[in-house]
Amino acid sequence: MTLPTYFVSHGGGPWPWMKDQYGRAYDKLEASLQAMRRDAGDRVRAVLVVTSHWETPGFMLSSGTAPGMIYDYGGFPPHTYQVRYPAPGEPALAQQAAALLSTAGHPAGLDPARGFDHGTFSMLYPVYPEAAMPVVQLSLRRDLDPLGHIEAGRALAPLRDDGVLLIGSGLSYHNLRQFGPSGAAASKAFDGWLQQALALPPQERTAALLGWLDAPMARAAHPREEHLIPLMVALGAAEREPAACVYHEEDFFGSLTVSSFRFG
């Protein structure tokens, strides 16, 4: 059976290991991630994460058997720099994905040394806390071209029939200079546009996403779009299938509107 794809707003830093500090702030996001596992069930044999925290000139896939950890955040408590998420890699899947991308005209390489960044391990911990599910990461291409990433998703679509859960990990709003009350208007306006765009018929939906810079307050929501581009890959891999909002709140960090989506 064909698996859905997801675009996940992954939250901030190592939040699953900071519940004493954050309290119930992440309850809704955590519940939506746990629901992802229930929805996919036992059909999943591996996860392919398109991470907003890894950019390379051309597409790259993590291909090590036991990826390490990348603590790509600052100013958090000391214990969050000791976090371990010991999920195995799957070199064969990395090779398969690289071949699909290369055949489609998007040359892709393998990086056996790449570890898990927090866009991967913080998001996956609520889904697979036992860290037994094999995980491969896909980088963003540094040009952040929307069409190129939609095409990458199209190329990777066959993996959905092979037990691979494709997750684009980013944030529907990502302006760290206005990550609070000053970002409320931009996050709400952009999220409203995103909800409407993803409800369009497939061809119109793709066109809308390609023109995302025309959305209300687009650059205020994404001064740089690396946290939005994983959405393009998730969309491309399920381009003709319906979208559903699977996580939404309007008081993230007290004032921000953020969402996650499932395709298929």
Q: What are the sequence ranges of the domains in the chain?
A: 5-263
Q: Nearest CA to 121 among 163, 152, 89?
A: 89
Report how far residue 261's alpha carbon sits from residue 122's, in angstroms, rounded to the nearest whole number.
Answer: 18
Phi and psi at residue 104, in whole multiples of 5°?
-85, 5
Give 82's DSSP letter.
Answer: S
Q: Which amino acid is at 70?
A: I
Report how far residue 166's alpha carbon sits from residue 160's, in angstroms, rounded to the nearest whole number.
Answer: 7
Report how far residue 205's alpha carbon sits from residue 261's, in angstroms, rounded to the nearest whole number.
Answer: 14
Model's pTM, two decimal places? 0.97
Cα–Cα–Cα angle for 244, 247, 248, rounded to 5 degrees: 105
Q: Please state the rounded mean pLDDT for residues 94-110.
A: 98
Coil, helix or strand at residue 75: coil
Q: Nearest CA to 222 among 263, 256, 254?
A: 256
Give 73's DSSP letter.
Answer: -
10 Å Cβ neighbour count for 76?
Answer: 18
Q: Is the pLDDT of residue 28 over 90?
A: yes
Q: Class for domain 5-263, per CATH?
A: alpha beta
Q: What is the pLDDT of residues 183-211, one digit of tens each?
A: 999 999 999 999 999 999 999 999 999 99
Which residues are within 8 A (CB) of 83 and not within 5 positions of it... i.e. 6 or more apart?
A: 14, 17, 69, 71, 121
Average pLDDT, the chain: 96
Q: Please state the rounded mean pLDDT for residues 4-30.
A: 93
Predicted pLDDT of residue 109: 98
Predicted pLDDT of residue 100: 98
Report how far residue 253's alpha carbon sits from residue 17's, in angstroms, rounded to the nearest whole number.
Answer: 17
10 Å Cβ neighbour count for 22?
Answer: 16
Report how far residue 249's alpha carbon sits from residue 256's, in angstroms, rounded to the nearest whole number.
Answer: 8
What counts of helices (H) and strands (E) characterise the chain?
Answer: 9, 8
